[in-house]
Amino acid sequence: MSSDEDTPLGTLASTSGTKHATTDCNSSLNGFADHSAMSEDEMPLSQVNGGQTPVRPLRRKRDSGQVSDSSDDDVPLASSSPTKPTLSVNTQAVATPRAVLDKSKQTNGKAKGKTKAPPKKRLKREEKSVVPDSSGSEDERPPARRRSKTKVKTEDNADGTTLGGEETKPKRKSVPKKETKKEDSGTPKPKSMKGEENDEAEEEEAKYRWWEAQQENDGEEKWQTLEHNGVIFPPPYEPLPSHVRMKYKGKEVDLPPESEEVAGFYAAMLETDHAKDKIFNRNFFEDWLNVLKNHPPRNGIKITDFDLCDFRPMYEYFETEKAKKKALSAAEKKELKKQKDAMEEKYTHCLLDGRKEKVGNFRVEPPGLFRGRGDHPKKGALKFRVRPEDITLNIGEGVPLPVPNMPGNWKAVVHDKTVTWLANWVENVNGNYKYVFLAAGSSLKGQSDMSKFEKSRELKKYVDRIRIDYTADLKSKVMADRQRATAMYFIDRLALRAGNEKGEDEADTVGCCSLRCEHVTLEAPNFIVFDFLGKDSIRYYNRVPVDAQVFKNVRLCKENKEDSDNLFDRVNTALLNKHLQSYMKGLTAKVFRTYNASITFQQQLDEGTPKVATLQEKLNAYNHANRMVAILCNHQRSVPKTHEQSMGKMRDRLRALKYDHMKLRHVLFNLDPKYRKVKQYADDESDLDDEWIVEHEENLKKKDIEKAEKKFAKDNEKLVEEGKKPQDESILQEKITAIEVEFERIAKERGTGRASLKRERPVERIEDSIQKLDEKIKIFKLQMDDREAGKEVALGTSKINYLDPRITAAWCKTHNVPIEKIFSKTLLTKFPWAMEAESDWKF
């Protein structure tokens, strides 16, 4: 779901600014000039059913989760949609990091500014995790711990909904006592979760700056007091009306609620690509048959063949209900949202050490069909309804225990101060743990993010030595060392993920250490072709030149092996990370990925940002740098299905701007024919043919009439609310008639090369309006180029997980770019500590 909270602040600002720039045109052309403003479907995006739990099929084997590797939600309009040049840019993907590596000493100077890296001795040491799960992003890793009071596995979720992050964090600086009121015990007194917080408490909460505050806990403890209201469960399933039934062999099937609910999950997806997938259909049908065994049709029909099932009646009912919701008035929608917000209000925040902190995902996932990522072998499997008996709560001792919003008791309640999750449960499809954490903008999550990027910056001190050593080991007589060095070469130079072994029932995704011989092809004299499924089953294809010794090593690794054999049979992630930690405390292979992404980004910005440029040109340079990182990290995405439609709309808006430009030129010609000989006004808009102009003017007329009707209705609603008599319909008809007369006048001017304004204006103002339109057209063309260039690359993942946000903050200050043009409201909330970086700060 998209929300205002997730919409980049710069989006609306840029649109309103554009309108302001063309105010003269708008007033002069009675609506011609700014009909190109962005529509809602072009604005950037940011993130049920109920019923009885069906009888569960036999438990499946565990499967390591997959987390979405991209997010387009944080990309503002001014930057265009995130996307990627085609992978024919593979040479760039290699050349870029190489160039950075060669110049790393130049870009790795000491950072300056307010937000300085904490000294090494002040950084909280990371957990010794020999085998980190490389399948998830560094920003989404459940908390590691040494002395946990509960034995809870920390893994990513399989469908990309994992919340959480690394639990390491820097110690805070001291803060004046007035900011933290303490009891005699030295622990902040927690506020009550009941009732409204007073203004003073809210003001104190708003001022809390964890990166400057004194850290209250020591050792492994992340908090001292924790109070929350648990999680909110989805509503129970409501059976469909009796006339809405699926069919089998053309006959209606009377399903009980338990099996009807599962059938409804599939029916709702009938027109999606999922329903066309054989694996998805097979897994759904197998799980549904297990439910039908215990909850068979009440009219005795036996279902055995998927192809004979007709879910169309259910699908049509769902679509009708969806249309009804969409047709609700604004007031009705507002009221429904108000009711929903009121119901969820107490779950949205918790009290952590006496401070009110926002909770991330407090909603328990409703039951449904697992979609997975890419070619996941379990897509279509049934996700069971989660109940209180499945959930373990983590909460402070001595605080009121939350009461579930559905019948049942919690599975367990723990008081573990060494972790930051509030609740967890195990989902049935892959057997992975799901967690509820604090929101991205919380103090604990911010400390985790800052610690992660500081660790990547710390790698600068050791990276040269590491590279010298693995380059030497490429020729080692010990085969294990040689393989490890070759793997490090790929991880460092190509930003490959480390990779872990997978189970038989998991998606066949691999990383560097789990590459098989079939994934690597050698092409003389020194090219290696990588072709495998990476995280989220995204294909990684890259043909790259490598050092001669690396080419030789890969050839040796492939000798006398089958295609299905591991390329590196003497190295794994555990051994690799153990070796890396001999250089630097807490260093793992995935730190290289963050380091190379950020250092590449810094170098690309430094080299690619024009010294003298317009705002849009600077934004394009920023997006280009981000694309280079996305290519390096293989953050691909399929071209959006709506891309061509979106580009078509943009082309129409560009033509609309040119139309306004043409009309103003014709106004000048009408006022003074000598303007026809002025070069800047002489050229016609070549892509405006007569047919398009007629259609455009007709659309403009319809929009003006609709606008008049809406204003008339809104004015009447206001009059009725004030107890006054509404306007007569004749007033609306007069306005519509005036609009029609105006467009008749405009139609007569068509093809004459002359135009007039409804209200006369000085020539100077018309010239100024034309100049503003010229600038607007130029900016809009840059936006179109940027969107087209990035249609296959997901820029969001890099921005959220791999790029130190201080790079962006410093760049924006240096080049006078409003950071709202780049960071969404969500990211600004997530990285408040980064906003204080000075303009000369470098990664």
Q: What is the CATH number of the domain that holds 512?
A: 3.90.15.10
CA gap 21, 23 in Å, rounded: 6
* pLDDT at residue 37 in the model: 36
How do beta strands 392-394 and 412-414 pair?
parallel
* pLDDT at residue 502 in the model: 57
User: 369 and 496: one domain?
Assistant: no
CA gap 502, 513 in Å, rounded: 12
Structure-token match 């892509």, residue found? 687
* Residue 146 pLDDT exceeds 80: no
We report the CATH number of the domain holding residue 309 as 1.10.10.41
**Integer CA distances (angstroms), 647 to 643, 650, 695, 784, 789, in order:** 6, 5, 19, 7, 12
Q: Name the β-bridge partners of 412.
A: 392
* pLDDT at residue 775 in the model: 87
User: 474 and 574: one domain?
Assistant: yes
* pLDDT at residue 634 in the model: 78
Q: For residue 193, what pLDDT band results from cuts at 50, 70 and 90?
A: low
Note whether 452 and 590 are within 8 A (CB): no
Which sign does the torsion angle of CA 139, 145, 150, 153 carry?
positive
Best mean pLDDT range from 190-199, 272-281, 369-378: 272-281
Q: Is residue 458, in this structure, part of any structural domain at all?
A: no
User: 254 and 212: one domain?
Assistant: no
Does the global pTM surpass 0.85? Answer: no
Q: Is residue 776, in this structure, part of any structural domain at all?
A: yes
Q: Is residue 620, in this structure, part of any structural domain at all?
A: no
Percentage above 70 pLDDT, the chain: 73
Q: What are phi and psi of 270, to 5 degrees?
A: -60, -35
Structure-token match 């306007």, residue found? 727
Which sign does the torsion angle of CA 788, 789, 793, 797 carry?
negative
* Residue 710 pLDDT exceeds 80: yes
Q: Is residue 28, in this structure, part of any structural domain at all?
A: no
User: 677 and 781: one domain?
Assistant: yes
Q: Is residue 477, in this structure, part of any structural domain at all?
A: yes
Q: Name the β-bridge partners of 528.
A: 522, 544
470 is catalytic: no
Domain that holds residue 207: 136-234+345-443
* Residue 387 pLDDT exceeds 80: yes
Q: For residue 807, what pLDDT band results from cuts at 50, 70 and 90?
A: very high
| Residue of 317, 435, 470, 802 with catalytic role | 802
User: 650 and 767: one domain?
Assistant: yes
**Average pLDDT of the residues in 90-113:** 37
CA gap 820, 14 in Å, rounded: 10
Percentage above 90 pLDDT, the chain: 44
* Residue 214 pLDDT exceeds 70: no
Q: Which residues contact 616 (CB under 8 A, 6 or more apart)?
A: 78, 778, 779, 782, 783
User: 568 and 490: one domain?
Assistant: yes
Question: What is the tens place of the pLDDT at every residue in 112-132?
Answer: 333 444 443 333 333 333 333
**Of 543, 559, 583, the domain-final residue:** 583
* Residue 158 pLDDT exceeds 70: no
User: 750 and 653: one domain?
Assistant: yes
Taking the CA atoms of the chain, what radius of gyration do you get in angstroms? 30
Instruction: Give DSSP secondary structure letters for 358-418.
Output: EBS--BPPPSEE---SSS-TTTTPEEPPP-GGG-EEE--TTSPPPPPSSSS--SEEE--TT
- Domains in the chain, number: 4
Q: For residue 598, what pLDDT band results from cuts at 50, 70 and 90?
A: very high
Note whether 380 and 269 are within 8 A (CB): no
* pLDDT at residue 486 in the model: 95
Instruction: Give DSSP secondary structure letters for 275-335.
Output: GG-HHHHHHHHHHHHHHHHHS--TT-PPP--GGGEE-HHHHHHHHHHHHHHHTS-HHHHHH
**Of 328, 353, 380, the domain-final residue:** 328
* Residue 431 pLDDT exceeds 70: yes
Beta-carbon count within 10 A of 111 CB? 17
Note whether 403 and 194 are within 8 A (CB): no
State CA 480 to chain mean position distance.
39
Q: Is residue 802, in this structure, part of any structural domain at all?
A: no
Task: Please give the structure tokens belonging to residue 478.
Answer: 């010990």
Closest CA to 391 of 370, 406, 369, 378: 406
Residue type present at position 577: N
User: 254 and 353: one domain?
Assistant: no
Q: What is the mean pLDDT of the chain?
A: 77
We report the CATH number of the domain holding residue 392 as 2.170.11.10
Question: What is the tens place of the pLDDT at every residue in 13-54?
Answer: 333 333 333 333 333 333 333 333 333 333 333 333 333 333
* pLDDT at residue 721 in the model: 86
- Reported as type and span, the H/E element at residue 479 is helix 479-494
Structure-token match 């049942």, residue found? 408
User: 219 and 357: one domain?
Assistant: yes
User: 230 and 262: one domain?
Assistant: no
Q: Is residue 537, in this structure, part of any structural domain at all?
A: yes
Q: For residue 185, what pLDDT band results from cuts at 50, 70 and 90?
A: very low
User: 482 and 369: one domain?
Assistant: no
Beta-carbon count within 10 A of 803 CB? 24
CA gap 276, 274 in Å, rounded: 5
Q: Is residue 481, in this structure, part of any structural domain at all?
A: yes
**Of 583, 610, 631, the domain-final residue:** 583
User: 303 and 360: one domain?
Assistant: no
Q: Which residues contact 751 (CB under 8 A, 6 or more apart)?
A: 690
